[in-house]
Amino acid sequence: MASRPLHFIWLLDCSGSMGINGKITQLNYAIREAIPEMRKAADDNPGAELLVRAVTFSSGASWHLAAPTAIQDFTWEDVYAHSTTDLGAALRLTSEALKTPPMPGRALRPVLALVSDGLPTDDWRSGLRDIDATPWGKRAVRVAIGIGEDADREMLKEFLANPEQEPLRVKNPKQLVAAIRWASTVAVATASTPAVEGDKQLATPMDRTPTITAGASDDDVW
């Protein structure tokens, strides 16, 4: 059976607060650590052609990796922290990629994986509406990871658009690595399975958010 494309898009907060206590360094490390497991997840789902790219947002948003890249060829270049938290700009930029075209008419559900440590500084809800206005955006598997106590839980929850799903909350570097690994591999497996039956959303593993419990000590909590 021919494989279908599965587009995985990271949406990464690169605001100035991500530079505090090494959060951006740990984010770069965590994504690199997840690549082998994403490749394995793709191998375990031969019906999916896993294609990865990334959007960063701080003052505005831009494609960090614009071309959908096969996971077998995917490498990670570091992102850096500066300025504000323009999540709305990132969502609007992503929504353009979820239109058909450029998205194919026949594909597996895309994955949108949002990582943020704070409060958006622009009109993020209008960006979310742009995502929801696209057929692929509305059907996407969504993952949200909040870093530290200042992450906007309500925003992350609204991004998920699933009352049964909770954002992942991480408080230290080890938890971030665990969350990135879980999100990238489980999301790929989930997106590789049928999503809808008529108009009814089927239950998926993403409906059950894990408890991230990797060790936290007093000197490595964000």
Note the pLDDT tens digit of each residue in 39-64: 999 999 999 999 999 999 999 999 99
Average pLDDT, the chain: 90
CA distance 101 to 201: 24
What residues contact residue 165 under an 8 Å CB cut-off, 6+ apart? 142, 206, 207, 209
- C-alpha distances in Å from residue 124, one per residue of 45, 83, 130, 142: 33, 16, 10, 16
Grade residue 201 by pLDDT with cuts at 50, 70 and 90. very low
In the predicted structure, residue 199 carries a pLDDT above the cut 60: no
| pLDDT at res. 200 | 35
pTM above 0.85, yes or no: yes
Superfamily of segment(s) 4-207: von Willebrand factor, type A domain (3.40.50.410)
Q: How does pLDDT run across 140-193, given as a tens digit for each residue?
A: 999 999 999 999 999 999 999 999 999 999 999 999 999 999 999 999 999 987
| pLDDT at res. 1 | 53
| pLDDT at res. 161 | 95
In the predicted structure, residue 110 carries a pLDDT above the cut 80: yes
